[in-house]
Structure 1
Amino acid sequence: MNVSRIALAAGVAASSVLLLSSTAFAHVTVQPQGEAAKGGYATVNFKVPNERDNASTVKLEVSLPTNHPMASVMPQPVPGWKAVVTKTKLAKPLEVHGKQITEAPSKITWTADGGKIGPGEFQQFPVSLGRLPEDTEQLVFKALQTYDNKEVVRWIEEAKEGAEEPEKPAPVLKLAAATDAHGGAAKGAEATNADAKNTGADAKETASTDDTDTTARILGVVGILVGAAGVAFGVLAGRRRSA
């Protein structure tokens, strides 16, 4: 194979990688900034890329799962965007901190207010969620992405186990077991304490070694001085005998 054929093959491979990468990462997704543990609170990001070369995203609507409602949903302000949280009455009230909650957030809508997501750009929309449900392994957030040319992309398809990823998959947030999260924290604390103890022991050992070295040096100096004094005494004694 000559050099030109190698260059051509490399170019085709690189183009394929770029094409596949842009397709794989062009979805609206939800990403936890920290660990999303069951029964706790978490801050997540709805990441919205712009898939069009000739239009900008100006609106995002995210539906919150009503089968696993959350009492607290607080969007973080995003410059150039206005966020509105819509609430819905619950068929079955939630009990949070001993209080009955009869309605819960069901949708968040971000509308461009001086901002936009242009071609080749993406935007993240942070939200605080809680309390996260304990009776499911994941939360599905169906989303609608609207462009300034009136096109609406519906990210609402739920992935099925064993099947290929849908063309327009809905954002999914995986939930970790609360015990695992706490256990991990405890193990981390134990490791930190162990490291601290080891560090303390090392420090003591180092200090002990330093003390030993210092004592040895002092004794050595004293020995030299004593030896010098003995030599001087011997010289003086010899002179006296000669006299």
Structure 2
Amino acid sequence: MKATRIAAAGVAAASAVLVLSAPAFAHVSVQPEGEAAKGGYATVNFKVPNERDDASTTKLEVSFPADHPLASVMPQPIDGWSVKVTKSKLAKPLTLHGEKIDEAVSKVTWTATGKGVEPGFFQKFPLSIGALPEDTDELVFKALQTYDNKEVVRWIEPQKEGQEEPENPAPVLALSAASTDGHHGSSTAEDASDTSKSAADSSTEASSADSSDTTARVLGVVGIVVGVAGVAYGVLAGRRRTSA
């Protein structure tokens, strides 16, 4: 009986490890390739995991912050997805490379033309964006994730200082300080476009790294379960020999 209890406790502990590790990669997030320096351009990836076992993600809508508008937003083509960039008029025009800009990107929408993001997988959606604002340390986006069963998950809740992470946190892009040599990353939208062209290879490498990390976690948990089961079997076998 004690051996059985030990084995059961081991399985419960392993399950707890899985549960505790899940939130780390469960929500829509945004990360730059390299760094996103204030005043410059950057290539960023919106990472979308599928949280459902019986539905695929078929649409992603990302709304851009109105208080820090971005004049240049260029998506990278993704196989199996169409993309639409929506622009809106600005209440206060921007000056970009000596030219006045009276509109900025307000939303980017990706729609699956194939199976979308199936259960057990994630997808990265790359964008080249700029010029990044110089008067803030972060950009807060709002994302809507739609599944093929019509369910919509709204990743729009801001993180409040000193409080726990909300259930559906909005993607946040941290901005780094401009370099001391006076450059702000890529100096033109054309440079940003060149950076975007390499995003496919980088995205593939990042996906492989993420996949390897997840696999390592799973194998670690499996190892724990097997180890505990072995100990339990040894204890039980010892008790049987003692009884005999």
TM over 0.5: yes
Greater Cα radius of gyration, structure 1 or 2: 1
Structure 1: any 5+ residue segments left out of the alignment? 186-243
Is the partner of 1:179 in helix, strand or coil?
coil
Q: Tell me which residue corresponds to 2:93.
A: 93
Is the partner of 2:20 in helix, strand or coil?
helix
- Once the two structures are superposed, the pairs formed by residues 24-173 of structure 1 within 5 Å of their partners are 24-173=24-173
Is the partner of 2:69 in helix, strand or coil?
coil
Superposition deviation, residue 114 in structure 1: 1.9
Superposition deviation, residue 5 in structure 1: 4.0
Q: Tell me which residue corresponds to 2:174.
A: 174
The 1:112/1:181 distance shift into structure 2, 3 A limit, reads: farther
Superposition deviation, residue 113 in structure 1: 1.1
Is the partner of 2:179 in helix, strand or coil?
helix
Give the conservation status (yes or no) of the 8 Å contact 1:37–1:181.
Answer: no
**If the length of structure 1 is used for normalisation, what is the TM-score?**
0.72
Where relative contact order (Cα < 8 A, 6+ residues apart) is larger, the structure is: 2
Give the conservation status (yes or no) of the 8 Å contact 1:81–1:115.
Answer: no
Give the conservation status (yes or no) of the 8 Å contact 1:143–1:154.
Answer: yes
Q: Distance in 2 between matches of 1:177 and 1:96?
A: 19
Superposition deviation, residue 98 in structure 1: 0.3
Structure 2: any 5+ residue segments left out of the alignment? 186-244
Is 1:16 matched with 2:35?
no
Q: CA RMSD in A?
A: 2.0
Give the conservation status (yes or no) of the 8 Å contact 2:56–2:115.
Answer: no
The 1:180/1:146 distance shift into structure 2, 3 A limit, reads: farther
1:162-209 Cα deviation digits (max 9, x unpaired): 0010000000000011136979x9xxxxxxxxxxxxxxxxxxxxxxxx
Is the partner of 1:145 in helix, strand or coil?
strand
Letter of the structure 2 residue corresponding to residue 61 of structure 1 = E
Superposition deviation, residue 49 in structure 1: 0.5
Q: Distance in 1 between matches of 2:180 and 2:163?
A: 29
Is the partner of 1:168 in helix, strand or coil?
coil
Is the partner of 2:125 in helix, strand or coil?
strand
Is the partner of 2:8 in helix, strand or coil?
helix
Letter of the structure 2 residue corresponding to residue 35 of structure 1 = E
Q: Distance in 2 between matches of 1:172 and 1:11?
A: 36
Q: Distance in 1 between matches of 2:74 and 2:39?
A: 17
**If the length of structure 2 is used for normalisation, what is the TM-score?**
0.71
Q: Distance in 2 between matches of 1:179 and 1:73?
A: 22
